[in-house]
Structure 1
Amino acid sequence: MDKLPQGFLKNPVNFLAFGLGSGCAPKAPGTFGTAMAVLLYLPLQYLPLWLYLGFIVVTFILGVWLCDEASKSLGVHDHGGIVWDEFVGYWITMIAAPTGWGWIVIGFVLFRIFDIWKPWPIKTADKVINGGFGIMVDDVLAGVYALICLQLLNAFL
C-alpha cells in the first residue's frame, strides 16, 4: 500500500474511513477491514432487527461522506486502505443471520468472495459510480449478494 501522509490517521474522518486503522494492513486491507467489521459485529448481532437495520442505514450514509472525504484528502478514488465500505458490506451480509461463530465465518467468506469477484452489476457500479457513494455501493451490492447466499444456506442446511 502507498505510504500515507504524515498524521493522516490523526484526522478522525480518515481514521474511521480506514476502519479504525485496519485498512493500513500492508497486504489485503479489505480482508483486514472485514475482520475488524466482524469484531464490531459481535455486540451488534444482539440488536433488535429494526435497530440493526437503522444502524446500517446510518453507517451507510456516514460512510458515503467518510469515504469521499478520505478519498479527496489522498487524491485517490477508492484507495485500498479505505475500508469503511467493507464494514457496511459485511454488516449487510449479516442482516438477520443465524447466531454462532460458524455463521459469522461463513458471512465473512461469502462477503469477501463477492467483494473480490465483483459479479455483475457490482463490477459495473465500481467502474462508473464515483465519489463516496461509488466507494460504498460496490460493497453494499457484495453484501446483498452475500446476504442472499447466507440466508439460502440457512434455509437449506
Structure 2
Amino acid sequence: MKRLAFLLATWFGSGRLPGPSGTWGSLAALPPAAALVWLGGPWLLALATLAIVAAGWWSSEVYTHSTQREDPSEVVIDEVAGQWMPLVVLPFHPWAWLAAFIAFRLFDILKPWPVSWADRRLPGGLGIMADDLLAGLYAALLLGFLWPYLEI
C-alpha cells in the first residue's frame, strides 16, 4: 500500500521531474482529465476529482509520515485535484483548458486568502490538499463566470 501511496502522491513520478514540481503535476493532470471528459463528460471528471481528493488526502498523509517531511514538493496529487476543478466547469476546448491551467497555477503560486491560510495552518494530508483545492475553486469560479463572455 505504501508503494501505491507514493505513486499516487507523486502522480506517477511527475512530481519528481526536475524543476517546478507543481507545474509538472498540473501538466500531468491534463491527459487523464481529457480522457475522463471524452469518456463521460464533465460529470465523470467531477466524480474523478472527488476520488482524487480522497486518494490525495490518504496518499499524501502516508507519504509525509513515511518521509518525515511536512509538505514535500514532489507530492503533486494536490495539483491534480486543484487543476481538475476549473476543467469541470469549462468546455472541452484547448483555449479553455489553457486558461484553466494558467488560472490554477496563478492562484496556486500567488496564494490569495484563504489559500495562504490553508497552506500555513492545516496539517498533514488535509493541509497538502486544501490549499490547492481552494486555488482550484478560485480558478473554477473566475473562469466559470468569465468564459461565457469571452469570444473564443
1:87 pairs with one of 75, 80, 85: 80
1:29, CA displacement in angstroms?
0.4
CA distance in 2, matches of 1:42, 1:95: 10
Q: 2:7 aligns to what?
A: 15
1:20-65: CA deviations, max 9, x gaps? 1000022100000100001211111232444332221111111100
Deviations 1:101-145 (A, max 9, x none): 111111100000000000000001111100101100000000000
TM-score (norm 2): 0.92
Q: Between Structure 1 and Structure 2, how many residues are aligned?
A: 148
Identity of matched residues, %? 34
- Name the CA distance, whole Å, in 1 between partners of 2:42 and 2:33: 13
RMSD value, Cα: 1.4
Q: One-letter code of the match for 1:28?
A: P
Aligned runs of 1:42-61 on 2, under 5 Å?
42-46=34-38, 47-61=40-54
Corresponding position of 2:103: 110
Hey, what's the Cα distance between the residues in 1 that align with 2:6 and 2:55?
12
Q: Give the TM-score, by structure 1 length.
A: 0.89
Cα separation, 2, equivalents of 1:31 and 1:101? 18
- State how far apart, in whole Å, the 2-side matches of 1:54 and 1:133 are: 19
When structure 1 is superposed on structure 2, of 27-36 and 92-101 the one drifting more is 92-101
Greater fraction helix? 2
Aligned to 1:27: 19
Look up the equivalent residue of 2:138 and give its one-letter code.
Y
Corresponding residue number in structure 1 for 2:137: 144
In structure 1, the gaps of 5 or more residues are 1-9
